[in-house]
Amino acid sequence: MSYPSSGGAPARTAVTEAEAEALIRGICFKTGPPRRLGVEVEWLVHELRDPRLPVSPGRLAAAYAALREVPLRSALTVEPGGQLELSSPPAASLTECLTLVSADLDAVRAVLRRDGLTLAGLGHDPWQTPRRFLRQPRYDAMEAALDRTGAAGRFMMCTSASVQVCVDAGHEEPGPLGHVRRWWMAHLLGAVLVAVFANSPFSAGRPTGWRSTRQLRWAQIGAGRAGAPALDADPRGAWARHVLDAPVMCVRRDDDGPWEVPEDLSFRHWARRRSPHAPTRDDLDYHLTTLFPPVRPRGHLELRMMDAQPGEDGWTVPLAVTAALFDDPAAAETAYRAVKPLAERTRGLAAPQNPLWRDAARDGPADPELRETAAVCFAAALDALPRLGAATALVDRVAAFRDRYVARGRCPADDLLDAWRARHDGRPDGSGAPLPTTHPHGKDTPS
């Protein structure tokens, strides 16, 4: 689902601080009855014969050239490290969204399989260190900016993958589907979704101590680039302040030279100083694309916190659960009441830099309160899915995930950790214990 442009006057018209704030308020929350749903599925691309082997840039380039000849309904894009992303168009129903993306994934997998490659549903590459595939000014600038807070940015750019669900912002009026409650709920339910769908416990071939290493990387990047605003009763105002005070990642150039990566320059200060030039509406639109909070308002709400899932259809479970909890009024009310007590654990700090999100990423649903909340939310989602027209097979898939993981205080990361421990030879440092080459309950990377 695309980011709305600020529109109005020409893109190169200079914008003042007050105009920028008004534009942000106007374009990032489009309220109305929830009618549309979207999903963005990211995948690591691995060698079919051995996923521990790095895929050469040449092989990736050839595969993507072949994929560009395939007619797809979803938008196919490439992430900086060569990860593949499919972004659905806005769909009128959960069934429409699932059917469309599933067909596109089947077509993509067929092309990759012919070239000896496969899609891997993991939130963080267990084996590879960050290596850039795309060499573009945007990503050169992004890498330079993120390097200032450590190595986490490179891992995020090059070795991570997710399932991102897009829901409408909601009604202007209060209530279970009101935009204020949906915004607030997304930041508490988001921690539950991090925990339940955690699927990235490894880096560099060894456990990191976190169920979701991907979420750890996002937290390490820092609040300015990858954090949420403080929650209050005015989401538009909070988000506008956050955007204006966020650091500018880069100042673009029209020629082929490297983009400037300023230090300690917020968009607010840029608008006031009007140097190196006065920022334009196009600069504001671009700045919005360089912020990566766990919930990003893009006219709709983009929930960005869930790890990529194992198996060919594992991604359908977080999509179905999220859609049910946000778009069915009864399920939304139940989820709101279930997550409300979690607010105390945030200690008033914004996501993901707060104790609730930290515990979710580290412990998953082994955390008793997160497990209990997840159980309530899954029950509500399973009750709601038939009302949303979900097929029996999808409801059964969600129920199977609930029984396998949520009811047992587990997540997909625990399967990977169990498989690793089974191969452990008893040495306390884990040396000599290779990672499994396939998810124990998925079909991502055959051994």
* Distance, CA of 123 to CA of 159 (rounded, Å): 8
Token pair for 82? 């060569």
The pLDDT tens digits of the residues spanning 25-49 come to 999 999 999 999 999 999 999 999 9
Label residue 438 by pLDDT band (50, 70, 90). Answer: low
Q: What is the mean pLDDT of residues 325-329?
A: 97
Q: Do residues 295 and 228 make contact, with C-beta atoms less than 8 angstroms apart?
A: yes
Nearest-CA neighbor of 186 among 33, 352, 315? 352
- pLDDT beyond 70 at 440: no
Nearest-CA neighbor of 306 among 148, 385, 199? 199
Q: What is the mean pLDDT of residues 104-124?
A: 98
- pLDDT beyond 70 at 301: yes
Q: Do residues 342 and 188 make contact, with C-beta atoms less than 8 angstroms apart?
A: yes
Q: How far is residue 41 from each of residues 27, 88, 99, 314, 395, measured CA to CA in Å?
A: 24, 9, 14, 11, 20
Residue 43 C-alpha from the chain's centroid: 12
The pLDDT tens digits of the residues spanning 381-410 come to 999 999 999 999 999 999 999 999 999 999
Q: What is the mean pLDDT of residues 114-136?
A: 96
Least confident of 124-133, 221-230, 247-256, 362-371: 247-256
Label residue 430 by pLDDT band (50, 70, 90). Answer: very low
Q: What is the pLDDT of the chain when averaged over all its residues?
A: 93
Q: Do residues 16 and 274 make contact, with C-beta atoms less than 8 angstroms apart?
A: no
Share of the chain above pLDDT 70, in %: 92
Token pair for 34? 């929830």
> In sequence order, what are the residues at sequence separation of 6 or more whose Cβ sits closer than 8 angstroms to the Cβ of residue 390?
94, 95, 320, 324
Beta-strand ranges (E) seen in 148-271 are 162-168, 202-203, 206-207
* Distance, CA of 301 to CA of 314 (rounded, Å): 22
| Residues across the chain | 447
Q: How far is residue 89 from each of residues 61, 134, 165, measured CA to CA in Å?
A: 25, 24, 12
Task: Report the pLDDT value the prediction gives residue 432, as an integer from 0 to 100.
Answer: 40
* Three-class SS state of 399: helix
Share of the chain above pLDDT 90, in %: 88
Residue 178: φ, ψ to 5°: -75, 150
Please, is 430 exposed, middle or buried when counting C-beta atoms within 10 Å of its C-beta (0-12, 13-18, 19+)? middle
Label residue 350 by pLDDT band (50, 70, 90). Answer: very high
- What per-residue string of b and e applies to 405-425 under the rule 16 or more CB within 10 Å gives b? bbeebbbbbbbbbebbeeeee
> In sequence order, what are the residues at sequence separation of 6 or more whose Cβ sits closer than 8 angstroms to the Cβ of residue 121?
43, 161, 199, 308, 309, 310, 311, 314, 315, 439, 442, 444
Task: Report the pLDDT value the prediction gives residue 386, as an integer from 0 to 100.
Answer: 98
The amino acid sitting at 54 is P
- pLDDT beyond 70 at 352: yes
* Distance, CA of 101 to CA of 318 (rounded, Å): 14
Task: Report the pLDDT value the prediction gives residue 2, as an integer from 0 to 100.
Answer: 47
Token pair for 36? 């549309």
Task: Report the pLDDT value the prediction gives residue 255, as an integer from 0 to 100.
Answer: 77
* Three-class SS state of 143: helix
Task: Report the pLDDT value the prediction gives residue 10, as an integer from 0 to 100.
Answer: 55
The pLDDT tens digits of the residues spanning 77-97 come to 999 999 999 999 999 999 999
Label residue 105 by pLDDT band (50, 70, 90). Answer: very high
The pLDDT tens digits of the residues spanning 238-282 come to 999 999 999 999 999 887 788 999 999 999 999 999 988 999 999
Model-level pTM?
Answer: 0.94
- pLDDT beyond 70 at 435: no
* Distance, CA of 101 to CA of 40 (rounded, Å): 9
- 75: which strand partners? 87
Residue with tokens 């979420």: 215
> In sequence order, what are the residues at sequence separation of 6 or more whose Cβ sits closer than 8 angstroms to the Cβ of residue 58?
none
Least confident of 11-15, 65-69, 165-169, 397-401: 11-15
- pLDDT beyond 80 at 425: no
DSSP conformational letter for 436: P
Helix axes 235-245, 17-28, angle to 10 degrees: 130
Q: How many Cα neighbours within 13 Å face the side chain of 428?
A: 0
71 vs 447, more confident: 71
Task: Report the pLDDT value the prediction gives residue 94, as an integer from 0 to 100.
Answer: 98
Q: Do residues 405 and 430 make contact, with C-beta atoms less than 8 angstroms apart?
A: no
The pLDDT tens digits of the residues spanning 172-224 come to 999 899 999 999 999 999 999 999 999 999 999 999 999 999 999 999 999 99
